[in-house]
């Protein structure tokens, strides 16, 4: 018997987020049960805490949950890419694994995507915008500066490219160039591919459990070469209009 078709896959990359796994899984179910046919794909990016054991236990109890693991940490972008490849659904929603993104926002993103003309949905990304970000002042200012620089350099017209809450067609993502930290440039890469990005205000919550895997300095150090690389990709892009002769 073939597996039932699902419309949406919620992809969650995690590294050392043991205390956040069960609460976030419960919230995803509360947000989507009875509203969408969905699956959940957790990608453990080489965790060294209790995350693997907790995910294994959760997988046994939840038929909607698929768990895959990187033996060694490969970064958030690769974890997202692994999850998208594993997913069966044609539509992908992503959430950070730290519990700061709110799964309750996902149905509104799906409705926004469905409201687009049918001919545009295949290349449409809905990007979350943390208009009231619940982080430290230093992180908020660093993010604001990074978004301003990216917007000026890439013209992606996206106020919050770093928000983990995004919705996009699986096929669109699989056609994008992949590199470390690409998840921060998904709107620009979508535009490069001839697609369109819409930003939607989403809820953002303080981190209640665990510790961040990133620092402002680390983000800045990797951000400069990444930005230059994406600028090069944008300049070198070509999007032909394909016609099939009759």
Q: Is residue 2 part of a domain?
A: no
Q: What is the DSSP letter of 234?
A: H
Q: Is residue 3 part of a domain?
A: no
Q: Which domain holds residue 157?
A: 8-235
Short-list 100, 44, 98, CA closest to 211: 98
CB 230 within 8 A of CB 154: yes
CATH no. for residue 169? 3.90.550.10
pTM: 0.86
Q: Is residue 165 part of a domain?
A: yes
CA 71 to chain centre: 21
Cα–Cα distance list, 239 to 92, 214, 234 (Å): 24, 35, 11
Q: Is residue 222 part of a domain?
A: yes
Question: Can you tell me the distance from the alpha carbon of 135 to that of 206, in angstroms, rounded to the nearest whole number?
Answer: 6
Q: Is residue 246 part of a domain?
A: no
Q: Is residue 1 part of a domain?
A: no
Q: Tokens in use for 182?
A: 């690409």
Question: Can you tell me the distance from the alpha carbon of 158 to that of 154, in angstroms, rounded to the nearest whole number?
Answer: 10
Q: What is the pLDDT of residue 232?
A: 80
Q: What is the pLDDT of residue 220?
A: 59
Number of domain units in the chain: 1
Q: Is residue 240 part of a domain?
A: no
Question: Can you tell me the distance from the alpha carbon of 17 to that of 213, in angstroms, rounded to the nearest whole number?
Answer: 10
Q: Is residue 139 part of a domain?
A: yes
Q: What is the pLDDT of residue 157?
A: 80
Q: What is the pLDDT of residue 223?
A: 72
Q: What is the pLDDT of residue 1?
A: 39
Question: Can you tell me the distance from the alpha carbon of 2 to that of 178, in angstroms, rounded to the nearest whole number?
Answer: 31
User: Which residues 6+ apart lie within 8 Å of 113 measured at CB?
Assistant: 91, 121, 124, 126, 167
DSSP string, 174-220: HTS---TTGGGGHHHHHHHTT-EEEEEE--B----SS--S--HHHHH
The 10s digit of each residue's pLDDT in 122-160 is 999 999 998 887 666 767 676 677 767 777 778 788 889
CA 167 to chain centre: 7
Q: What is the pLDDT of residue 81?
A: 97
Q: What is the pLDDT of residue 206?
A: 81
Spans of the chain, pLDDT less than 50: 1-2
């Amino acid at each position: 018997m073939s597996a039932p078709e699902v419309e949406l896959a919620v992809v969650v990359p995690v590294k050392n987020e043991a205390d956040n796994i069960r609460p976030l899984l419960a919230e995803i179910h509360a947000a989507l049960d009875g509203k969408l046919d969905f699956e959940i794909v957790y990608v453990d990016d080489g965790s060294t805490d209790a995350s693997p054991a907790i995910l294994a236990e959760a997988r046994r109890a939840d038929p909607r949950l698929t768990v895959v693991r990187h033996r060694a940490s490969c970064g958030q972008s690769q974890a997202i890419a692994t999850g998208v490849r594993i997913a069966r659904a044609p539509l992908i929603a992503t959430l950070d694994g730290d519990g700061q993104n709110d799964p309750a926002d996902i149905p509104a993103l799906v409705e926004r995507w469905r409201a687009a003309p049918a001919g545009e949905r295949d290349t449409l990304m809905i990007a979350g915008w943390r208009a009231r970000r619940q982080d430290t002042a230093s992180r908020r200012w660093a993010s604001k500066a990074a978004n301003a620089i990216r917007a000026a350099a890439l013209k992606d017209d996206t106020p919050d490219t770093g928000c983990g809450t995004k919705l996009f067609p699986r096929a669109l993502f699989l056609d994008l160039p992949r590199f470390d930290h690409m998840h921060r440039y998904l709107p620009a890469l979508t535009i490069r591919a001839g697609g369109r990005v819409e930003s939607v205000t989403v809820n953002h919550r303080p981190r209640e459990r665990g510790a961040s895997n990133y620092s402002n300095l680390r983000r800045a150090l990797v951000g400069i070469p990444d930005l230059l690389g994406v600028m090069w990709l944008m300049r070198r892009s070509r999007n032909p209009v394909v016609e099939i002769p009759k």
